Amino acid sequence: MINRCLVVALAAFALTFTYAVAPAAAAPLPGERIAANVTAAGLPVSGLTIEEAAAKLEASYGERLRKGVSVKRAGRLFRMSAKDAKVKFDALRTAKRALYAGRALSKTPPAPGAAPAGVDVPLAVEISQSAVRRFAGRVDRSLSRSPRNSKLRITLRKVYVTHSRSGRDIDHVALGKQVAAALVDPRLVRVFRPELVTIKAKVNSLQVRKTAGTVITIQRNTFTLRLFKGLKWKKSYKVAVGMSGYPTPTGLFAIQSKQVNPTWSVPNSPWAGELGGTSVSGGSAANPLKARWMGISGSVGIHGTGQDASIGTRASHGCIRMHVWDVIALYNRVPIGTPVLIR
């Protein structure tokens, strides 16, 4: 059994080697016919001259090879014509392949008791691999989509979480190989339905909700601070905002620090007068930061004020002022990291 397998393996090697070099070694003889047990892409061509074999191959496979391929998926249809793929079928060259393979086959007698060996040669078909890759890439771009994570959306009057969405993808490399194989072998299917692989979003709405327990929005033109808990509005407060020369900054910020009876580090600014660059201890009558401080950005924060009449006006140097009783109540409900939207 081992010797028989070895003989068959050697015979196969000899056929491969002969097939590779024979065409350059000996041209077809006039009237020479293809040996027995030879097929081309499964089509029997034994006993035919190369001209007859070429005609049979063209009649059997030519029309199919000149048809394109298509991809159907997710309600979409994509087509690639043979022209786009630059398909070139050479029936005569294929017939010569069969002739040369038959010569090698006839020179290799079958092992004792074994059935006569046969050989099947591939069709001589040329295609543009780059065109096939571009087609597979176009299908991939049309069918694939990136996953979408849930996000926290904040407006002045509403806080909500967007829904996540799974993405999808196809193996466009494998698709390209399948298309290329079908374009050169008429026996293969020419309609493909690539598998759509689901790609889950990394962040879902439940995860976002857990991190959005508290949100603050500040509407400067109405002097309103709104507190949201669990994505729902809980309370609105009247505030003062920055005057025209020192406007309260706009954007999305976060509570960065919290202090009870904060020390006031007076900025070096002309409006600070002789206090510029100094520090005023918390609780001092000269300290405008009353009761509580919630830092937002740089020297801007939310704090209590002793000037209650300024609430509802543009009066501060950029900070958000609140009544003392309001800032104390808010302070206890706002953790560090709370998003703050200012518009």
Residue 301, domain member (yes or no): yes
List, in order, residues 6 or more apart from 325 with CB less than 8 Å away: none
Residues 122 and 254 occupy one common structural domain: no
Question: Is there a catalytic annotation at residue 172?
Answer: no
**Boundary-marking domain end, from 197, 223, 239:** 197
Residues 126 and 237 occupy one common structural domain: no
Note the pLDDT of residue 22: 40
Q: How far is CA 317 from its chain centroid?
A: 46
Residues 181 and 272 occupy one common structural domain: no
Cα atoms found within 13 Å of the Cα of residue 196, Cβ hemisphere only: 19
Query: What value does the mean pLDDT take over residues 234-239?
Result: 98
Residue 202, domain member (yes or no): no
* Token pair belonging to 338: 């709370």
Domain of residue 275: give its range: 213-342
Question: Tens of pLDDT along 107-143?
Answer: 877 677 666 789 999 999 999 999 999 999 999 999 9
Residue where the block lists tokens 């006569």: 116
Residues 35 and 130 occupy one common structural domain: yes
Q: Which residues pair with 333 in a beta bridge?
A: none
- Among 227, 268, 219, CA closest to 248: 219
Residues 136 and 223 occupy one common structural domain: no
Residue 212 has pLDDT above 90, yes or no: no
Residue 208, domain member (yes or no): no
Question: Tens of pLDDT along 217-229?
Answer: 999 999 999 999 9
Residues 134 and 109 occupy one common structural domain: yes
Residues 184 and 287 occupy one common structural domain: no
Residues 167 and 25 occupy one common structural domain: yes
Instruction: Report the range of poorest mean pLDDT among 34-38, 105-109, 332-336.
Output: 105-109
Helix ranges (DSSP H) in 192-259: 205-210
- Among 211, 203, 209, 206, CA closest to 149: 203
Instruction: Report the range of poorest mean pLDDT among 98-112, 252-266, 308-322.
Output: 98-112
DSSP code string of 164-203: PB-EEE--HHHHHHHHHHHHH-TTS--EE----EEE--SS
282: CATH? 2.40.440.10
Angle between the N-to-C axes of helices 91-106 and 50-57, in degrees from 0 to 180, rounded to the nearest 10 = 130
Residue 98, domain member (yes or no): yes
Residues 94 and 142 occupy one common structural domain: yes
Residue 189, domain member (yes or no): yes
The total domain count for the chain is 2
Residues 247 and 148 occupy one common structural domain: no
**Comparison of pLDDT for 184 and 264, the residue scoring more:** 184
Residue from 5, 163, 317, 319 carrying the catalytic annotation: 319
Question: Is there a catalytic annotation at residue 303?
Answer: yes
Residues 115 and 255 occupy one common structural domain: no
Residues 152 and 244 occupy one common structural domain: no
Which pLDDT band holds residue 276 (cuts at 50, 70, 90)? low
Report the SS3 class of residue 24: helix
Q: Provide, rounded to the nearest whole percent, the portion of the chain with pLDDT above 70.
A: 87
DSSP code string of 287-301: --SEEEEEEEETTEE
